[in-house]
Amino acid sequence: MLLPNPERLALARMRGAIDRVDDGLIVLLAARRRLVRVVAALKPRAGVPPRDLARERQVRTRTQSLAHRLDLPADTAAGLLDLAIVDACRQQGMAIDLDQGALAPSPAMMQPIMPDTLRSESRALHWLRLLPPPRRLAPLLRALPQRWQRNLLERAMARVLAVPLQDGTLDFMRGRRLGIEVSDLQLCWVLEWCDGRLCVGDGVPEASVRGSATDLLLLASRLEDADTLFFQRALELTGDTELGLTARNLLERLPWESVPLGLRIALNRGARFARAARAAHRGEAV
């Protein structure tokens, strides 16, 4: 009697495991639809609008964070979540706003990549690799007068943190000093409370957050969350852990809508560009 081919046997088992995962996805989607029906009935009683965009943004952020930790492509996770949101909207009889929902096009509708597209991507990688990495800009930035650096940082903080400054959320910084270290640019600032605002001082920090310019920009633009960056050791926290965690939690709870639109766009585009340039220098796909 011939024994079955071990590779075929292993393949059949793996395919069977995939089938069970697929079945689980369908079961979970069916369970989600039942929960959506309950939520749809509760919304008017709770005074919540049929479609809560703030809630959707939170869900998308959490999904991307989880996908990053599990090494799942961001587009795959976003596409799966888009399908679930579209299904929930249809279930509740709501119009599907592609702009608000930021839904990705269906893979079946995507045009094949043409040679011109590939050439464009190749040229983009070429130009990105020509850009000097941040560490080479460090001597130039250090040559800038300290007062210029401080004024620029203080103005940016005043705009980004306008709401926490007004509602007292930043009161924990009274009498405290928090350091921000940009490792590749060899820059360091000490933030402290000055007359109802955050300013850059000269004291010794009680806690410090250290990271590269790109990673700190990704954090500031909300393209990466703090937990993911700390887990990847892209950011380091030293000194008074409680002070550092309080500041980190503040950033996570900061209402992104309260940041001026122009600044949000600048942060987002700047962070995406910095990430693409870093990927190009590392030889990764942009």
- In 3D space, the residue among 88, 63, 89 whose CA is nearest the CA of residue 77 turns out to be 63
Share of the chain above pLDDT 70, in %: 85
> What are the two backbone dihedrals, phi and then psi, of residue 164, each rounded to the nearest 5 degrees?
-60, -30
Q: What b/e readout covers 27-62, taking b as 16+ CB neighbours within 10 angstroms?
A: eeeeeeeeebeeeeeeeeeeeeeebeeeebeeebee
Over 50: is that where the pLDDT of 81 sits? yes
170-175 contact pairs (CB < 8 A, 24+): 170/198, 170/250, 172/243, 172/246, 173/198, 173/247
Which residue type occupies 282? R
**Of 286 and 219, which is predicted with more confidence?**
219
**DSSP3 helix / strand / coil % (the chain, rounded to 5):** 65, 10, 25
234 vs 232: CA distance, rounded Å: 5
Over 90: is that where the pLDDT of 206 sits? yes
| SS3 assignment, position 95 | coil
- In 3D space, the residue among 204, 209, 207 whose CA is nearest the CA of residue 219 turns out to be 209
- 216-273: pLDDT as tens digits: 888 888 888 887 888 888 889 899 988 888 888 777 777 777 777 787 888 888 888 8
191 within 8 A of 200, measured Cβ to Cβ = yes
37 within 8 A of 91, measured Cβ to Cβ = yes
60 within 8 A of 78, measured Cβ to Cβ = yes
pLDDT at residue 192, rounded to an integer: 92
Mean pLDDT score of the chain, rounded to an integer? 79
- In 3D space, the residue among 227, 191, 230 whose CA is nearest the CA of residue 210 turns out to be 230
